Structure 1
Amino acid sequence: MKVELRMGEWMITMGLVGLYRVFEYGLKHEIIAPQYKNSIVVQPWGLELDINVLPQLPKAYFLYLLDEYSVAKRECEKLQLYIKQAQKEEQFKYALSTIKETMNNTGKKALKYFSHEQLENVLETLKLIKKYENLNDLVACVNTFQAIIHEPKINEKLTLNYFKAAILKSFFGQVSFLNVSKNSLDLEGHIEEFQKDYVTPAFYDLRFEQVLASAQSSEEIMTFLDDHKNYQPFRALKKAWKAKTLEDIQSDAKNIMNKCLLLSDHVAFYNFEEMVFSPIGVAKNNAFNFNWNLEDRQPKPICSLAKLVLFFAPAGAAIYLKKEGFDEQSEYRTYAGFVQTDATFSEILQKNNHFKQLKQQKEPFDQIVSKLVQSVTKEAQYVTDHLFFLEFSSDYDSKKTHLHYYHLPLYLAHYFRQYGNKLDYIQPYEYREHFVQYVLRGADPAIVIYKYLRYCIEKGYSHIGPYIAVRERNRIMQLKKGVKDMSSTDKRVSALFRSGQEIRAAFMQAANGSDKKVMSIAYRLLNAAKAGNKESFMDALLRIHMSVDRPIAPIFLNALHERDLDFSTVANAFISGLLSTNFKEEQEDVVS
């Protein structure tokens, strides 16, 4: 029996990408038997699935995740980097401390589940290593430790614990093998739970739909239900249909039984709730505004097949760490990212494979966008593509989700294709990331530039980054208005930047190099700019020019009238110049 799994909401499409990745992985590593090689076929609208392959998927699912998130692989890569550091005597102390922390943390987790005399000895020997002269002993300890954590039983247990807590918990509640009561399960136990809780219900429900459609009598349907009477949804149906005719049963199936919200062709016995997909699910008992046909027991019906597809969503996403916030008021969160388009499924699969690869290589978000946009060569092709990104970080315990949509309208596609590489100058990395994400959300990145300028003032940094941020924001704003030629506005922004550099140079000469005074002025100007107070900004600007006996350039009338440039661009371009010291070295970058 074959069924169509059609793309739809992003979480279903993500699940289909994950399902196909697991299927490909299973075939490649001979986890899925060769006779099933054509059981999942890519179609323009999604996947065509032969349900006979379903029992093959649980083992492939876990082995895919074990390979993807192998603790042994990850920890050994870290240790090899630290060993390279330790070989330099000046870095030995720091490297040794990090190696000890890594090995002790991982080793204690392994010893919690397994008695291992060799591992205990390695950790004891590690305590005795304190000096650079013991480098050979340290290398020997690390090599032995790496061999130990690569042992299948240890790597399996540590990796299972890791991806359940760090990855799957962001997607689902405490269902199936994710329940804390199932923490003692080994790999085979996890596979059996997946089979029982996800695969078997989907298999039963699909067979039920087939019997319901082809039955010639009510007895056929009742016999099928009786053969699977231990399956809870069928027990309820058997009781309700016991004395009904075939026509009555078919009428109930058509008019009373719920259909799935996500895969509309299928009968729904379950709910779309937080334990099924926690990032946007709602607890069933609290879903008063979501009651379906006033039925509070099943407010948001979904089918077992949709539940199964959603459980593959973690394999369909790119998983990465992302820094939220700025400087000291920041934290790293694990995010799942996905590229959604109106293109065919094969194109979505290709884009997400590329996206995942770039994220694994730790490419900045602007470079990822630029590279994905390069394949869009014609405007008409882009209009039908509707490329956008989404990412979320979800914590099931706190019932909290950070969900971001990044849309790529046509003017931004033009920008990233033509100017995207210019953002490389914006450093540190986090300001560049926030700048791009504000732009993709359709928000004005001026707020990021204000924070960036304040950061540079506080740290005493002087480089081209703030000016580039101001110029690129202006380019984006111009493209949004439909302006194609940037030369005139680029020259105005450059002139404002140079004006700030010249005033700084003049002020430093007049004040005998008082950098603190310049920073104080920059603070005052930045506060006025951030508040949108043109009068206060112009008053401070006039005083600065008077103090160094310089006339104010006519271009600053833009700050009042905003004819050619908006106030934020005028103010921030000048402040960027005021913070810049390397006038000659930056000329080429300013005009590029």
Structure 2
Amino acid sequence: MRIELHMGEWMINMGLVGLYRVFEYGRQNGIISDEYKDSVTVKPWGIELDTDVLPQLPKAYFLYLLEEYSVARRECEKLDSYIEQVKKEDQFKNAVSIIKKSISDTGKKILKYFPYPLLEDILEKVKDVKKAEHTNQLLEYINEFKKIMNEQKVNEKLTFNYFKAAILQSFFGQVSFLNVAKNNLDLDGHIEEFYKSYVVPVLNDLRFEQTIKTIYSSEEMNTFLETYNDYQPFKQLKREWKKKTVEEIREYVRTKINKCLLFNERFAFYNFEEMVFSPIGVAKDNAFNFSWHFDSQQPKPLSSLAKLVLLFAPIGSTVYFKNEGINEQTERRLYAGFVQTDATFAEVLQKNNHFSQLKKKREPFNKIVSQLVQSVKKESEYAVDHLFFLEFFSDYSSKKTHLHYYHLPIYLAHYFKQYADRLDYIKPYDYREQFVQYVLRGADPIHVIYHYLRDCVKNERSTIGPYIAVRERNRILQFKKGVRDVATTDKRVSALFMQGREIRDAIMRSSGSEKKVTSIAYRLLNAAKAGNRKNFMDTLLRIYMAADRPISPIFLNALHERDLDFSTVANAFIAGLLANQYKEEQEEVQA
């Protein structure tokens, strides 16, 4: 049977991309038979699926995950990267320490499941490696360890443990093969559990849909339900329909059986709840505001087909680590990202494949956005596509989800196409990521700039980055107003920065005190952050009077905001006040 899977909400689109990736992987690697090579076809609206291929998808699903998240490959690559450092005398001590910890941590996990006397011996001997002359012995231990890691049973077990705990449980509850009781399943066991829990319900429900359309008597329906009596939803129907006529059965189907929330034409015997899709699902018993037709046991009806597609969502997304917060409050979390667009499914697939490739190369967000909008030739095309990003961090155990939507309106698309590379000067990397993500959320990145400047003041760090952040924020504001030629306002921002530099030089010549510059920068920054123009201008007048210099008319912008907003004026000047590296900054100030 061929069925249509239409795009819709982002989680379904994510699932469709994942399903297609698994099918292509299975087809290319001989996991899916050649007779089913045309079973999944891309259509403008989504995917056309031949259900005959469904029994072959579980094996392709797990083999895809085993290759994508191979613990053996990851650990061996990590060890290889430190082997080169071991050979360098100045890096030997640090590299050996990391290698020992890696071998010890992973080795203990292996020994938990497999008895390896050789591995136990390696773990003991590697502790004695402390000097450079032991390098050859260390390399031998590493090679033996890598052989054990690459044994199929070892890699499978560790990789299953990893992607089930770190990846899949960010998306789902402890259902089917994800239940802790199923931790001892091998590859075949996982495939069987997947088939029983996800494929069989889809096949049963599709047969049910066909049977409802074709039966002529209630006996036919009873025979069908009896045939599939092991399927829980049918047990209830069998009791309900025991004495009903065909007309009454069809009326019951029309009025009592819900349709799916995500695939509207499909019957729904399940619920959209946290165990099915943890990031935005709600436990059935707690879904007080979602009772469907006032039935507390049916919060948000879901079909078995949608449940299956959602299972592919982790593969359709791009998974990466991301630092949340700034400076000391940073927390490293595993995020799943997706590019959503109103274009055809082929375009959604292409953009997400590109997004995944860029993330694997660890490209910063500004580069990713820039490259993904390069294909936009006309504003009319962009308006139709309506590109935006979403990413989420989800922790099933603590019932916590951080979900971010990053919209990309036309003015931002133009900005990224023209100026995305300028953001490369915002360093460290975390400030650039925060800046871009604020912008994509439609928020003012001024708070990132305040943190950035305060970091520079506190740590006496001189960098061009804050000035670039101030200038690019102003460019974005100009683009938002419809201004495409920003040369005039760029010159004003540059002039304010140079005023700050000149005042810094005057202070250093008269006092030679870096602490005095720091003290003034703190006062100006506090006034700027509070939006207190009076305090800012009072401090500014005192600085210029102490330096015996006339105050520039450009600061009138701080009072009247005719050409530049107060934050831009204040922060451009403060950035100049903190800058003392001339050559490379001078080149970029003019860019």
Q: TM-score with structure 1 length normalisation?
A: 0.99
Counterpart residue number, 1:82: 82
1:4–1:48 CA contact under 8 A, matched in 2? yes
Counterpart residue number, 1:409: 409
Task: Give the C-alpha shift of residue 267 in structure 1.
Answer: 0.2
Which one is further off, 579-588 or 168-177?
Answer: 579-588
Letter in 2 for 1:476: I
Note if 1:282 corresponds to 2:282.
yes
Note if 1:526 corresponds to 2:534.
no
Task: Give the C-alpha shift of residue 214 in structure 1.
Answer: 2.1
Q: Distance in 1 between matches of 2:378 and 2:142?
A: 53
Q: Distance in 2 between matches of 1:576 and 1:583?
A: 13
Task: Give the C-alpha shift of residue 144 in structure 1.
Answer: 1.0
Counterpart residue number, 1:167: 167
Q: Distance in 2 between matches of 1:335 and 1:579?
A: 35
Q: Distance in 2 between matches of 1:327 and 1:105?
A: 29
SS in structure 1 at match of 2:330: strand
Counterpart residue number, 2:539: 540
Q: Distance in 2 between matches of 1:194 and 1:493?
A: 60
Tell me the matched-pair count.
Answer: 591
Which one is further off, 426-435 or 32-41?
Answer: 32-41
SS in structure 2 at match of 1:338: strand
Counting aligned pairs with the same residue, the percent is 68
Counterpart residue number, 2:443: 443
Note if 1:568 corresponds to 2:572.
no
Counterpart residue number, 2:516: 517
Q: CA RMSD in A?
A: 0.8
Note if 1:587 corresponds to 2:558.
no
Letter in 1 for 2:560: H
Counterpart residue number, 2:507: 507
Counterpart residue number, 2:255: 255
Letter in 1 for 2:80: Q
| 1:32-60 Cα deviation digits (max 9, x unpaired) | 11111011111100000111111101111
Gaps of 5+ in 1: none
| 1:545-584 Cα deviation digits (max 9, x unpaired) | 1111111100001001101000000000000000001234
Q: Distance in 2 between matches of 1:138 and 1:506?
A: 58
Which one is further off, 126-135 or 422-431?
Answer: 126-135
SS in structure 1 at match of 2:377: coil
Counterpart residue number, 1:205: 205
Counterpart residue number, 1:150: 150
Letter in 1 for 2:572: A
Counterpart residue number, 1:369: 369
Counterpart residue number, 2:120: 120
Task: Give the C-alpha shift of residue 381 in structure 1.
Answer: 0.7
Counterpart residue number, 1:463: 463
Letter in 2 for 1:566: D
Q: Distance in 1 between matches of 2:383 and 2:395?
A: 35
SS in structure 2 at match of 1:289: coil
1:501–1:583 CA contact under 8 A, matched in 2? no
Q: TM-score with structure 2 length normalisation?
A: 0.99
Matches of residues 354-393 of structure 1 in structure 2 within 5 Å?
Answer: 354-393=354-393
Q: Distance in 1 between matches of 2:544 and 2:132?
A: 58
Letter in 2 for 1:464: I
SS in structure 1 at match of 2:325: strand
Task: Give the C-alpha shift of residue 188 in structure 1.
Answer: 1.1
1:32–1:56 CA contact under 8 A, matched in 2? yes
Q: Distance in 1 between matches of 2:213 and 2:544?
A: 85
Q: Distance in 2 between matches of 1:583 and 1:159?
A: 51
Letter in 2 for 1:255: T
Write out the 4+ residue segments of structure 1 that deviate beyond 6 Å after TM superposition: none
Gaps of 5+ in 2: none
Task: Give the C-alpha shift of residue 460 in structure 1.
Answer: 1.1
Task: Give the C-alpha shift of residue 516 in structure 1.
Answer: 1.0
Note if 1:223 corresponds to 2:213.
no
Counterpart residue number, 2:314: 314
Q: Distance in 1 between matches of 2:222 and 2:485?
A: 72
1:15–1:314 CA contact under 8 A, matched in 2? yes
| 1:319-367 Cα deviation digits (max 9, x unpaired) | 0000001111111000000000000001100000000010011000110
Counterpart residue number, 2:577: 578
| 1:171-228 Cα deviation digits (max 9, x unpaired) | 0001011111111111111111111111111111111111112223222222111100
Note if 1:301 corresponds to 2:297.
no
Q: Distance in 2 between matches of 1:150 and 1:385?
A: 44
Q: Distance in 1 between matches of 2:509 and 2:188?
A: 76
Task: Give the C-alpha shift of residue 100 in structure 1.
Answer: 0.5
Q: Distance in 2 between matches of 1:62 and 1:37?
A: 19
